Amino acid sequence: MNSRIYVFNNTWGSDSSPAGWSESITTNSSNSFRIDFNWPLGANNNSVKSYPSAVLGWHWGWHFPTGTGLPVQLSANRDINTTYAYSASFGSGGTANVAYDVWLHTQSNPLYENPSDEVMIWVNSTGGAGPIGPTIATISIGGATWDLHRGNIGWEVWSFVRTSNSGSATLNIKSFTDYLRNTWGLSSSKYVTSVEFGSEVFHGTGNVNVTNYTCTVGSVSGVVANGTYRVLARHSAKALTVNNHLTANGTPVNQRAYASSNNNNQRWTLTHLGSNVYQIMGVESAKALETASTSTANGVLADIRTYTGATNQRWTITPTTGGYFRLSPISSGNSVLDVSGASTADGAKVQQWTRSGTNGSNNQQWIFQAP
């Protein structure tokens, strides 16, 4: 497909299909490809027949093409940013997914060696397609909700299944491996050796047309690891809160004591976009923390709104002291997220305000803690 990513028509399960099947994968450009397939019904309708895909890095027997950035050890904390956009038709009664397949090894340069872990990220599940293993958690990553399944087929299989299908998005693979490291004990000494994106077809006749696909191994991650946090003001130890559990665009954000339950309006998912700039998404609303306009004036309120990538929805996070940070909207770089009047009261409004001194006053500093 390009000098780093190659396409692979992987019909590894074809032996379990009736005769008459067909499949092809065609490169359309340096970042697009199309899959066409016909996998007829038979005795093994619940088994995967193929995974035609775009591959960055390793596959059994293949060495790394130059310039992939792989392998990369998890402990290196490097972003793996990826964008996808596609349309899919699996035919009447077809069963398939659209998914990433991320391979991890204990060694840095495998050839035919089996992986230690397989991390799948399903962005589409159609016709009853499902992963191996039971659901062990439901979590928010990258502004979406995922059911995590765990199984074993000689190596660990971690499958993040999006609770609603998505035709396009930008993700950071590191967000998913960070979650597994922090919550399920995935060893930081392991290496990401391959990232693949394609469709696992169980049966059906149709196509997947990928109009945009990129995957790049980046630099060391930002000052705050991707993940879900409660965000507490330094002066009050109270949490950044979406007012009254509302989810509508324009709902204001205030500070309030962190609740022991029913607190998803006080949880925020951070995704590093590069250069210590972050998207900050409300867990309950799946909407972005923003300033209500791109004005640079003091007093512009913080609220939530559907994420568009606008400059008032992207935040530079800068360390101060004692584990605290200041948050500055890209639209107003000299301003910071501020609790009005340094109030310690529940319901005090949160706004942008000119930074006080080098680090900001205590009502302009925030800490990210596990919820």
Instruction: Please list the alpha-helical segments (H only) found in 82-226.
Output: 173-184
Span 219-251, pLDDT tens digits:
555 788 888 999 999 999 999 999 999 999 999
Domain co-membership, 186 together with 162:
yes
Instruction: Indicate whether 147 and 215 sit together in one domain.
Output: yes
Do 249 and 343 share a domain, yes or no? yes
Asked whether the beta carbons of 190 and 106 are under 8 A apart, the reply is: yes
Dihedral sign of CA atoms 358, 367, 185, 282 in order: negative
Give the CATH number of the domain where residue 286 resides: 2.80.10.50
Q: Are residues 202 and 301 in the same domain?
A: no
**Do residues 314 and 222 lie in contact, with contact meaning Cβ atoms separated by under 8 Å?**
no
Do 138 and 207 lie in a common domain?
yes
Q: What is the reported pTM?
A: 0.62
Q: Is the domain of 67 the same as that of 9?
A: yes
Is residue 240 domain-shared with residue 179, that is, in the same domain?
Answer: no
Residues 204 and 61 in one domain: yes
Instruction: Specify whether 255 is located in the same domain as 239.
Output: yes
pLDDT at position 220: 52
- Of 220, 254, 279, the position where a domain reaches its end is 220
Among 220, 243, 270, residue at a domain's last position: 220
Average pLDDT over residues 317-332: 93
Is the domain of 139 the same as that of 264?
no
243 & 181 share domain: no
Contact predicate 145/269, CB 8 Å: no
**What's the CA gap between 274 and 218, in Å, rounded?**
8
Residues 206 and 326 grouped into a single domain: no
- Domain holding 186, by residue range, is 5-220
* CA atoms within 13 Å, Cβ hemisphere of 312: 18
Q: Which two tokens stand for residue 68?
A: 């992939």
Contact 253, 245 (CB under 8 A): no
Number of structural domains in the chain: 2
Question: Which CATH number covers residue 90?
Answer: 2.60.120.180
262-305 confidence digits (pLDDT tens): 999 999 999 888 778 899 999 999 999 999 999 999 999 999 99
Handedness of CA 34, 39, 45, 51 (dihedral sign): negative
User: What tens digit of pLDDT does each residue of 350-366 get?
Assistant: 999 999 999 999 999 99
What is the rounded CA–CA span in Å between residue 151 and residue 159?
Answer: 8
Q: Is the distance from CB of 199 to CB of 97 less than 8 angstroms?
A: yes
